[in-house]
Amino acid sequence: MQVGIDEIGFYTPNKYVDMVDLANARNEDPNKYLEGIGQSQMSVADQTQDAVSMGINATLGYLDHVDLNQVGLLILGTESGVDQSKSGSLFIKSALKLPAAVRTFEIKEACFGVTAGLMLARDYVRLHPHHSAIVIGSDIARYGLNSGGEVTQGAGSISLLIKAEPRILAINNGHSAYSADINDFWRPNNSATALVDGKYSKAVYLDFFERTFADYQRIKKWSPAQFEAIVYHLPFTKMGFKANNLAMAGQPAEVEHHLANNFTASAWFNRQVGNIYTASLYLSLLSLLEKADLAPGATIGLFSYGSGAMGEFYSGQLVSGYQQKLRPIADEQMLMRRQKLSIPQYETIFNEALKQPIDNVELASDEAAGYWYFAGTKNEVRQYHQK
C-alpha cells in the first residue's frame, strides 16, 4: 500500500509588498532583493489573519472532496502559535466541522513542523488505511521593520491531505535526518518577531542539506540523477538555489539541466509569497507541480529544514493523473487578488498586527466572502468568523 499526499490547499493573505518598493525605502539596490535574496514580493497578514485562520482557509480549497468522517488525525505545524497551551488545530477542527473522534494537536520545531506532522500522518495511515489525516503548515514570518530579515518575511498556509493510495505524491520508504542543538534562528516567548543570526543560518542550512542528501543517497544507493526535481525549504529562494547548486555539482549536463529548470519552477510561488516558515517547502512542491511539466512516476526529493536545528531529506513518486488534483488557476488567482501596499501602509499594518487586540472589541476583515478571519477576543477567548 502506498501512502502520501492526496490534496494540497494553499492560502495567502490579500495584501503584498513589492520588493523594489521595499528596497527603495530601505536605501538598498533592488537587485540585492530581487537577485541576491531572490524575492520579488511578500504577502502581508493584517491583524485579522493568523496561523489558525490561514490554516482553515488553506484547507477550504479541497474540503469539499474529503469524507470528513474518515479524517482521524489533524496536525498543525506552526511557529506562529496563537496560544501557549491550547492547540490552534482545535479552532481549525471546529471550523472545518471535523468529527469529535479526530486526534488533533500542534507541532513545533521551527520550519520542520509540517514534515514532522507529515511523517506521523504517513505512519498513522499505514496503520489505519481507511482513515486520512490533514496536516497544515501555517505561519507569518516577522523579523521587524528595518531589520536584516525584513526582506525575508511572508505569510500563508499549505494544507495537505494524507491518504492511502494518494493521487498526487506517494511517499517513498526511507529518510535521512540530522539534528543539532544550535542557535541560528529562534523566537523567545516575549518577542513577536524572530531573532536570527542570518549568515550562520545560511551556512547551517547548507551543511544540513549536504549531510542529509549524502546520507539519503547512501541509504537508497541513488545518485542525484535519480531525481527529476528536488524541492527545498525556501526561507528565501536564493537559499534553495544554493543548495540545488550543491546537489547538481559534478553531474552530467542533462541532470544539471532538469534540476536547474525544475528548481526555477519550484521557486515561483515562494518568490511572490515570501517565507511561510513551516509551509515553505510544501508551497515549493505545489509550485513545482503547477509550473513544471513532470511525467508521472518522476522522483521528487524533498529537503526540510527547521532552525534550532533539524533537517530531513526524503522523496516521493508522482502519481499518474496528479495534474487533475491540482488547482493552478485558483492558486494563481490567490496571488493575483492581492492588493499592493505602499511602504507606509505596510508599516502601519505591520505595527497594528503586533499589538494585542483589545478584549471584547470585534475586528472587521476586508477579506473576500467565504474566507475565515480572526475577529478578536471575547472575554479573552479567540473568535474566528467566516466572511
Q: Which residues are catalytic?
A: 79, 111, 233
Q: Does residue 29 interact with ligand COA by CB under 6 A?
A: yes
Query: What CA–CA distance (Å, rounded) separates 18 from 151?
Result: 10
Question: Among the candidate windows 192-200, 282-290, 315-323, 366-374, which touches ligand COA by CB under 6 A?
Answer: 192-200
Q: Is position 112 an interface residue for ligand COA (rule: CB under 6 A)? A: no
Residue 198 touches ligand COA, criterion: CB under 6 A: yes
CA gap 321, 2 in Å, rounded = 15
Among 149, 224, 311, 357, binds ligand COA (CB under 6 A): 149
Closest residue to ligand COA using C-beta atoms: 36
List the interface residues with ligand COA, window 33-62 (CB under 6 A).
35-37
Among residues 45, 162, 196, 259, the one that binds ligand COA under rule CB under 6 A? 196
**What's the Cα-to-Cα distance from 251 to each of 89, 294, 306, rounded to whole Å?**
43, 20, 28
Among 152, 193, 270, 365, which residue sits at the site for ligand COA (rule: CB under 6 A)? 152
**Cβ-defined contacts of 34-40 (< 8 Å, 24+):** 35/238, 36/238, 37/151, 37/152, 37/236, 37/237, 37/238, 38/236, 38/237, 38/238, 38/239, 38/241, 38/267, 38/271, 39/151, 39/152, 39/236, 39/237, 39/271, 39/274, 40/271, 40/272
Cell of 95: 471550523
CB closer to ligand COA out of 205 and 384: 205
Binding residue for ligand COA (CB under 6 A) from 43, 132, 159, 201?
201
Does 144 bind ligand COA (CB under 6 A)? Our answer is: no
How many residues interact with ligand COA (rule CB under 6 A)? 22
Rule CB under 6 A: say whether 129 interacts with ligand COA: no
Using CB under 6 A, which of 151, 158, 283, 310 touches ligand COA?
151
For residue 199, the minimal CB distance to ligand COA (Å) is 6
Interface residue with ligand COA among 307, 315, 317, 365 (CB under 6 A) is: 307
**Is 203 a residue that touches ligand COA (CB under 6 A)?**
no
Residue (9 or 306) nearer to ligand COA, CB: 306
Residue type, 252: P
Of 10, 213, 282, 305, the one binding ligand COA (CB under 6 A) is 305
Q: Where are the alpha helices (DSSP H) in 1-81?
A: 19-25, 30-31, 51-60
- Residue 205 or 227 having the CB closest to ligand COA: 205
Residues 197, 119, 327, 96, Cα dihedral to 10° = -100
Beta strands (DSSP E) in 78-152 are: 103-107, 132-141
Classify the C-alpha dihedral 102-66-115-44 as positive or negative: negative
Peptide bond into 309 cis (omega under 30): yes
Binders in 234-273 for ligand COA, by CB under 6 A: 235-236, 238
Cα–Cα distance for residue pair 271/277, rounded to 1 Å: 13
Q: How far apart are CA 299 and CA 7, in angstroms?
A: 18
**Near ligand COA by CB under 6 A, which window of 25-33, 340-348, 352-360, 376-384?**
25-33
Helix, strand, coil percentages (3-state) for the chain, rounded to 5, are: 40, 25, 35
Instruction: Provide Rg for the chain, Cα atoms.
Output: 20
User: Is the Cβ of residue 305 or residue 322 nearer to ligand COA in the bound state?
Assistant: 305
Of 148, 174, 296, 328, the residue at the interface with ligand COA (CB under 6 A) is 148
Q: Which stretch binds ligand COA (CB under 6 A): 2-10, 95-103, 233-241, 317-325?
A: 233-241
The answer for residues whose C-beta is within 8 angstroms of residue 10's C-beta and 6 or more apart is 58, 61, 156, 157, 158, 159, 269, 283, 286, 331, 334
Residues within the interface to ligand COA (CB under 6 A): 29, 31-32, 35-37, 148-149, 151-152, 185, 196, 198-199, 201-202, 205, 235-236, 238, 305, 307
